[in-house]
């Protein structure tokens, strides 16, 4: 049984989906959710799901080994689910090809620092893209530059707004993210 630690910064809908997906799995389970935003809705979701959720600050994350030590004790895989900070090199080094992120666009388009959530969808709309999607990728020391694991696309039309694009992306995330995580875990440990 592999252990998953999820990082989240906001509402936690992807974290909740992953927790529920692995609740009765024989492959993996979510042992902890770590959050850098003390006011995030993910805490409420985790409480309802009876999943441990811990808050940490910048010093815990990159100035000390507090978060790294939690991960070494509780994680085989790390999943970024709406987490907005860049992962420190010491964590990337400790978990090579064991950190997975989801990005709400078809990388390499619309990636990098500051490109998250509605900012991505506004850029997609402003550039009149006829499709967008999600990218699930490994995490390295740079924003959105790790090797791509999986992409899924959705068509756009001229009536789409950043908000309707967000809804389409959310459906793709909810459908694909947990399944791809499971496939990666199974593939690595067959």
Active site residues: 103
Alpha carbon 144 to its chain's center: 11
Omega of the bond leading into 75 within 30 degrees of 0 (cis): no
71-110: buried (b, 16+ CB within 10 Å) or exposed (e) per residue?
beebbbbbbbbbbbeebbeebbebbeebbbbbbbbbbebb
Burial of 50 (0-12, 13-18, 19+ CB in 10 A): exposed
């Amino acid at each position: 049984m592999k252990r998953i630690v999820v990082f989240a910064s906001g509402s936690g809908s992807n974290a909740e989906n992953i927790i529920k997906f692995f609740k009765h799995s024989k492959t993996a389970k979510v042992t902890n959710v770590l959050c850098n935003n003390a006011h995030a809705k993910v805490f409420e979701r985790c409480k309802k799901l009876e999943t441990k959720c811990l808050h940490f600050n910048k010093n815990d994350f990159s100035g000390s080994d507090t978060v790294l030590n939690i991960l070494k004790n509780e994680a085989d895989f790390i999943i970024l689910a709406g987490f907005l900070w860049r992962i420190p090199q010491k964590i990337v080094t400790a978990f090579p090809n064991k950190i997975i992120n989801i990005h709400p666009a078809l990388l390499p388009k619309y990636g990098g620092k500051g490109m998250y959530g509605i900012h991505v969808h506004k850029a997609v709309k402003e550039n009149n893209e006829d499709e967008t999607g999600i990218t699930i990728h490994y995490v390295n020391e740079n924003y959105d530059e790790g090797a791509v694991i999986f992409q899924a696309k959705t068509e756009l039309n001229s009536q789409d707004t950043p908000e309707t694009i967000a809804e389409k992306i959310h459906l793709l995330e909810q459908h694909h993210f947990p399944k791809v995580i499971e496939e990666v875990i199974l593939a690595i440990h067959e």
